[in-house]
Amino acid sequence: MAKPLAVSPLAVPFPAMGQIGGVRLATVAAGIRYQGRTDLVLMDFVAGTSVAGVFTRNTCPGAPIDWCREALAGGTARGLVVNAGNANVFTGRAGRETTHATAAAAASLLGCGQSEIFLASTGVIGEVLPHERITRALPALATGLTPTGWEAAARGIMTTDTFPKGAIRTVTIAGTPVTIQGIAKGSGMIAPDMATMLCFVATDAALPQAVLQTLLAASVDRSFNCTTVDSDTSTSDTVLLFATGTAGNPPVAGNADPALADFAEALDSLLLELALLVVRDGEGATKLVRIEVSGAVSDQSARQVALAVANSPLVKTAIAGEDANWGRIVMAVGKSGEPADRDTLSIGVGGTWMAREGTVVPGYDEAPVVAHMKGSELDIAIDLGLGQGAGRAWTCDLTHGYIDINGSYRS
């Protein structure tokens, strides 16, 4: 087993998490792959909890993704089982058997139907996940459930993560206070098209499943789908949002109900915070980078340009080396496949415009840009000069640490 990874220099302390009415959690060391650490999490939800989910669009998904997509049709959840160390992907019939055995065991313990159990796995692809290690550990998890187990759960789902990730928001719906809080894991194999990570969010708000699903899908598109570490889209991406209804807020008329405005904004904020925590923990990362694109022909085009820059190994290595090489940004814009014109393009870093209209800005002074690039959080601005479209993406630098981690991932 590889030695523990050093904590990311961009790490953020785990927040003080509250309790969500109708939610309990437990974590245990099941020995699925790791030794001497927790790797299995159980979440229990009160009867009637509605659930929404967004999953990877990778065409080789894991067995838990297939299970959750089918379970989501029921609209309600009573339990969630998550394991770290083995992704249960590309495991054929054995993978399907593991999902069925795990769901059956959890459903028996929680007194519900198997279709109300949701599953997620993360870790090595292509190795059979021995479900006996999970089912054997579940009874102890069921007896250890507690409403305060959020940080332990965040640690229990980590793989190459170097710190646990959590966020919390409190807002009102029609005057009734409600809380949203969640945890996430992710460090490598992070790219849009759902983004690569596991994320589990719960709220005590009373919201119908259809409303919850609409809110979650839109929010994920504005957060996780705007982040990238290494351009690789995982087979196991899962975001699940559970609403227990214990806050007792008045019924909402639909996702366009004005009473939901603050909740939707808080959900956006919370998911973006979790997404950026994943980028902060990018394998080998030392810098968090925001790329803002304006002047595009559409918002979608702007986001694609931003992601092309965010995914460029040459841009990311220049950032790692603190090299103010704006030519690499121009290159990445040009390869994006989106409308761009060299003679209307402007590039800026840290508030300093470096290039305009196809060439370097007259009298350009590199000193403030170099100073900005020595920091841990960088801003890149790109104005295409073609229209009103705007978009953004977040990424991290690419260092030798990424190679060290992924070159020995299975050892």
Of the candidates 313, 285, 311, the one whose C-alpha atom is nearest the C-alpha of residue 376 is: 285
Rounded Cα distance between 368 and 39, Å, is 45
E strand or H helix at 308: helix 299-310
Does the annotation list 352 as a binding residue? Answer: no
Q: Are 314 and 328 in contact (CB under 8 A)?
A: yes
Does the annotation list 146 as a binding residue? Answer: no
Residues contacting residue 407 through CB under 8 Å, at least 6 positions apart: none
Does the annotation list 411 as a binding residue? Answer: yes
Does the annotation list 406 as a binding residue? Answer: yes
Does the annotation list 283 as a binding residue? Answer: yes
Residues contacting residue 208 through CB under 8 Å, at least 6 positions apart: 50, 252
Does the annotation list 311 as a binding residue? Answer: no
Sign of torsion over alpha carbons 134, 135, 136, 137? positive
Rounded Cα distance between 213 and 182, Å, is 16
Q: Are 281 and 9 in contact (CB under 8 A)?
A: no
Rounded Cα distance between 262 and 67, Å, is 32
Question: Out of 196, 228, 244, 399, which one is annotated catalytic?
Answer: 196
Rounded Cα distance between 351 and 380, Å, is 8
Of the candidates 278, 309, 312, the one whose C-alpha atom is nearest the C-alpha of residue 291 is: 309
Active site residue 196: yes
Q: Are 380 and 403 in contact (CB under 8 A)?
A: no
Report the catalytic residues.
Answer: 196
Residue stretches of the annotated binding site for substrate: 159, 185, 196, 283, 406, 411
Residue stretches of the annotated binding site: 159, 185, 196, 283, 406, 411
